[in-house]
């Protein structure tokens, strides 16, 4: 598989690889790393990289969501998400204000200081466990308006297996977001 690699030397200790569009890889490397060490790293991770590039290409071939798709997802979310919030709020020991559904291009949810919750309509395309994780995440912000260890402990108390859903959002969820942004 063909791909273009841009090497960015930085004052860092580890290597960071980032996909930057179809067939393009950014490689952030320690400033003193040799070209030979970089080639060895790329060879060692070639299978993973080619798999990820193939996944990216598949996403690029999916059609963007239409306005009708977004409207349908938002209507569905207005029925489903308030029920999930009502289910999990007592388990988290919190109350909340208004629930708003949006077609956000970067966030899955948010919680205001006033206790209002916002959710991305694309959650309707995610597995139900992922939807529940985002609901619990935002409800836990009613206790902690941050991502402190105490916040994460509260999320784990309410939803012990949340890390798997968090991983899904970071990988599969980004494919949904890219369909939103075209």
Whichever domain contains 100, its CATH number is 3.30.2010.10
Examine the domain organization and report whether 83 and 138 are in the same domain.
yes
Tally of domains in the chain: 2
Reduce the DSSP state of residue 84 to 3 states and report it.
helix
**How high is the pLDDT of residue 174?**
80
Span 64-110, pLDDT tens digits: 889 999 999 999 999 999 999 999 999 999 999 999 999 888 899 99
Distance from C-alpha of 136 to C-alpha of 19, rounded to nearest angstrom: 30
**How high is the pLDDT of residue 105?**
82
* Range with the poorest average pLDDT among 38-42, 68-72, 173-177: 173-177
**How high is the pLDDT of residue 181?**
59
Examine the domain organization and report whether 72 and 157 are in the same domain.
yes
Residue 21 burial by CB count (10 A; 0-12/13-18/19+): exposed, middle or buried?
Answer: exposed
Distances, alpha carbon 132 to alpha carbons 129, 160, 165, 168, in Å? 5, 12, 9, 13
Examine the domain organization and report whether 56 and 72 are in the same domain.
no
**How high is the pLDDT of residue 1?**
66
> Which of 37, 60, 83 delimits the end of a domain?
60
How are beta strands 16-19 and 24-30 bridged, if at all?
antiparallel
Examine the domain organization and report whether 32 and 15 are in the same domain.
yes
Examine the domain organization and report whether 80 and 21 are in the same domain.
no
Containing structural domain, residue 42: 4-60
Examine the domain organization and report whether 153 and 123 are in the same domain.
yes
Report CA dihedral (26, 32, 37, 43) to the nearest 10 degrees: -10
Q: Which residues make Cβ contacts (< 8 Å) with residue 6, sequence separation at least 6?
A: 20, 24, 25, 26, 27
């Amino acid at each position: 598989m063909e791909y273009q690699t841009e090497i960015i030397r930085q004052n860092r200790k580890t290597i960071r690889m980032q996909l930057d569009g179809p067939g393009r890889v950014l490689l952030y490397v320690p400033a003193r790393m040799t070209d030979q060490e970089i080639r060895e790293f790329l060879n060692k991770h070639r299978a993973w990289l080619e798999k990820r590039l193939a996944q990216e290409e598949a996403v690029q071939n999916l059609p963007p969501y239409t306005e009708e798709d977004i409207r349908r997802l938002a209507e569905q979310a207005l029925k489903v998400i308030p029920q999930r919030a009502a289910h999990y709020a007592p388990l988290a020991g919190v109350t909340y204000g208004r629930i708003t559904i949006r077609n956000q291009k970067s966030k899955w949810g948010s919680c205001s200081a006033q206790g209002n919750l916002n959710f991305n309509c694309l959650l309707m395309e995610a597995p139900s466990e992922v939807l529940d994780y985002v609901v619990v995440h935002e409800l836990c912000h009613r206790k902690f308006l941050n991502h402190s260890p105490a916040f994460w402990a509260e999320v784990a108390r309410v939803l012990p297996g949340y890390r798997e859903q968090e991983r899904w959002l970071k990988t599969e969820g980004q494919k949904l977001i890219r369909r939103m942004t075209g």
